[in-house]
Amino acid sequence: MTTIAELREQVRGPVIEPGDDGYEEGRRVHNGMHDRRPALIVRAAATADAIAAVNYAREAGLDLAVRGGGHSGPGFGTSDGGVVLDLSLLNNVFVDRTKRTARAGGGTTWGDFNHATHAYGLATTGGIISTTGVSGLTLGNFGVVTSLELALHPVDTIYGGPMFFEVADAPALMRAYDDYIQEAPEQLGAFFAWQMAPPLPFIPEDRHGDVFCAIVACWSGRPEQGEQAIKPFRDVAEVKAEHVGPMPYPALNAAFDGLFPKGIRQYWKGDYVRDLPDEAIAAHAEHGPGVPTVSSTMHLYSINGAAARVGPEETAFGHRDARYAMVILSASPDPGDDEADIRWVRDYYAAVHPYSGTRGGYVNFMDSDDAARAPENYGGSYERLRAIKAEYDPDNLFHLNQNVTPAD
Ligand SMILES: Cc1cc2nc3c(=O)[nH]c(=O)nc-3n(C[C@H](O)[C@H](O)[C@H](O)COP(=O)(O)OP(=O)(O)OC[C@H]3O[C@@H](n4cnc5c(N)ncnc54)[C@H](O)[C@@H]3O)c2cc1C
C-alpha cells in the first residue's frame, strides 16, 4: 500500500496532515456547522495529483471528499478521518472567444470564472455568490472533474440589482412576480427574497435591521431597456430602498458575498415548486418576515425559458416541469443561534411544502438530514444515474455527495 511519504513524492501540490501548516484552514469548509478533521488533505496542483489522491484513498479504504469551492450545505468537501482532495489550486480559466466557451479548472469559483469571461464581454449562468464553486454547482457523484467546459453568451453590463419593498406588500409582490416572470423576456432573470436590511448606504439608516421583501433582478438585454423590463415589479408598490442600475455582471454576482463569509453556520431546506396558490403565498407571508438573521432568507428562483426547452432525458436534471427552485436558508456566525434558526427553517418549510406540487428539490439546496430525498430530487433521472454509477463507480467510492447509489 502507498504510504503518505510515497504519496508526497507522487504529487506536486501540498499534502497536509494534522499538525502541518495549513491543516486548520484546509480542513474547514464554507458551512461552519461542519467541524471535521480529515486524516489527509491533498491540494492537487495537477490532474496527476488528483489521480494519486483518489488511488490513495481507495487503497487505504478511507472516505474521499472531493472539494471544489467547498460550499456544500452538508459539508461534503471535508470528512472526519478521510482524505480531502482539494481542487482549489486548479482555478485557471481559458476563454475561447471564437467558440464562446470557457474551460475552467475543477476548483474554479464563480468569481474566478466571471473575472476571466467578463474581459471578453461573455458570461454563463451561475450562482449568486462569487465564492461558490463552479464544479459543485454543476456536478456531483461521478469521479473527479479536473476541468470543465461551459458555453458562454454575450453578457457584459447588466441592468439590475435588489429592490426592497415593505413586508405588507409581499403577497401582492409575490403574485406579480409569479404572473410576470413566466412571460417576461428571456433576458430577464429575477428572484423573490426576504431580506433583513444590512447597514448599507442605499438603505435609510433608520430601516437598518428591518425585514423587507425583495426582488433581485438581472436584465441581460440592452441596458437602456432594463428600466422597462423591471417596471412590472415597481408597479406593485413603492420601492423603499434599492441598488438598481447598470453594473458589470461580476459585480452583481459578488453583491451578496458579504452576507455569506466562510465559516458562517448554515441550515438549508428546499423544494421545486410547480404552483404558487394563494395559500402558499399566505404561508410565505406568515413565515418569511421572521427571518432570524441578516444572512437568513428564502429565495424563489424561476426555472423557465431555455431550461424548459431541454428534455428530461437529455441531462441529469429531471424536474423540467418545475417553475421554481425554492430554498429556505438560515445563516449565522453564532452557534447559540443554531436551534432557533433551524426551527425557523423547518417551520417555514413545513408550512409551504404541501403546496409545492412536486416531490423533489434541487440537490444543491439539501442539507445532511435530507440525504434520503436523493431519489426524488433526481426525479425521473434517478434510475438512469444509478445504472451509470454502477458502471463507473460500482463501489461508490464517490459517496460524499447527494448520493446516487449504484444499481444492483
Ligand atoms: C452562500 C451560498 C450560495 C449559493 N448560491 C447558489 C446559487 O445561486 N445557485 C446554485 O445553484 N447553488 C447555490 N449554492 C449551492 C451550491 O450550488 C452548492 O453548495 C454546490 O454544491 C457548491 O459547490 P462547491 O464546489 O462550492 O462545493 P463543494 O462542497 O466543494 O462540492 C459540492 C459537491 O460537489 C462535488 N464536487 C465539487 N467539485 C467537484 C469536482 N471538481 N469533481 C467532482 N465532484 C466535485 C463534491 O464532491 C460535493 O459532493 C450556494 C451555496 C452557498 C453556500
CATH code where residue 123 lies: 3.30.465.10
Residue 403 lies in a domain: no
CA-wise closest residue to 191 among 84, 107, 69, 273 = 273
Of 61-70, 97-106, 196-205, 307-316, the range with the lowest mean pLDDT is: 307-316
Taking residues 373-399, report their average pLDDT. Answer: 96
User: Is the predicted pLDDT of residue 140 greater than 90, yes or no?
Assistant: no
Find where cell 507522487 sits: 10
CA–centroid distance, residue 196 to ligand 1 (Å): 25
CA of 67 to the centre of ligand 1 (A): 9
Please indicate, yes or no, whether residues 208 and 277 belong to a single structural domain of this protein: yes
Q: Is 72 in the pocket of ligand 1 (CB under 6 A)?
A: yes
214 in Cβ contact with 160 (< 8 Å): no
Same domain, 168 and 272: yes
- The beta-strand segments (E) located in 37-123 are 40-43, 64-67, 83-86, 93-96, 101-105, 122-123
Residue 240 to residue 253: CA distance in whole angstroms = 23
Here the CATH number for the domain that contains residue 364 is: 3.40.462.20
Q: Is 318 in the pocket of ligand 1 (CB under 6 A)?
A: no
Residues 197 and 277 reside in one and the same domain: yes
**Strand arrangement of the beta sheet that strand 40-43 belongs to:** 15-16, 40-43, 83-86, 64-67
Q: CA torsion angle for 314, 360, 75, 302 (degrees, to 10)?
A: 70
For residue 195, what pLDDT band results from cuts at 50, 70 and 90?
A: very high
Nearest CA to ligand 1 atom 19: 72
pLDDT for res 318: 87
> Does residue 335 share a domain with residue 348?
yes
Residue 175: the pLDDT is 98
pTM of the entire predicted model? 0.96
The CB of 87 under 6 Å from ligand 1? The reply is yes
Domain count, the chain: 3
3-class secondary-structure state, position 145? coil
28 CB under 6 A from ligand 1?
no
Q: Is the CB of 32 under 6 A from ligand 1?
A: no
pLDDT at 359: 86
Nearest to 301 by CA among 168, 115, 126: 126
Instruction: Please work out whether the CB of residue 106 comes within 6 Å of at least one atom of ligand 1.
Output: yes
Count Cβ neighbours within 10 Å for each residue of 353-367 and write b for 16 or more, e otherwise. bebbbbebbbbbbbb
In this structure, which residue's CA is closest to atom 51 in ligand 1?
71
Q: Kindly state whether residue 174 falls inside one of the protein's structural domains.
A: yes
Q: What is the pLDDT of the chain when averaged over all its residues?
A: 97
What is the structure's pLDDT at 1?
86
Whether ligand 1 lies within 6 angstroms of the CB of 328 is answered as no
My answer on whether 219 and 349 are in the same domain is: yes
User: Within this chain, do residues 297 and 165 fall inside the same structural domain, yes or no?
Assistant: yes
Q: Are residues 163 and 255 in the same domain?
A: yes
Give the whole-angstrom CA distance, residue 156 versus residue 238: 29
pLDDT tens-place string over residues 351-367: 999 999 988 999 999 99
Whole-number pLDDT of residue 203: 97
Query: Considering the domain boundaries, does residue 35 fall inside one?
Result: yes
Atom of ligand 1 nearest to the CA of 266: 53
Pair 275, 161 in one domain? yes
**182 & 68 share domain:** no
Contact 109, 132 (CB under 8 A): yes
- Could you tell me the distance, in angstroms and rounded to a whole number, from the CA of residue 26 to the centre of ligand 1? 17
**161 shares its domain with 30:** no
Write out the three cell numbers for 205.
439608516
**263 & 346 share domain:** yes
Predicted confidence at residue 67, as pLDDT, reads: 98
C-alpha span between 94 and 92 (Å, rounded): 7
Residue at 123 is within a domain? yes
pLDDT digits (tens, 9 = 90+) for 315-346: 999 899 899 999 999 999 999 999 999 999 99
Instruction: Please give the average per-residue pLDDT across 19-44, as a whole number.
Output: 98
277 lies in which domain range?
Answer: 157-372
**Residue % of the chain over a pLDDT of 70:** 100
For residue 105 and ligand 1, the question of a CB distance below 6 A is answered with no
In a domain, 401, yes or no: no
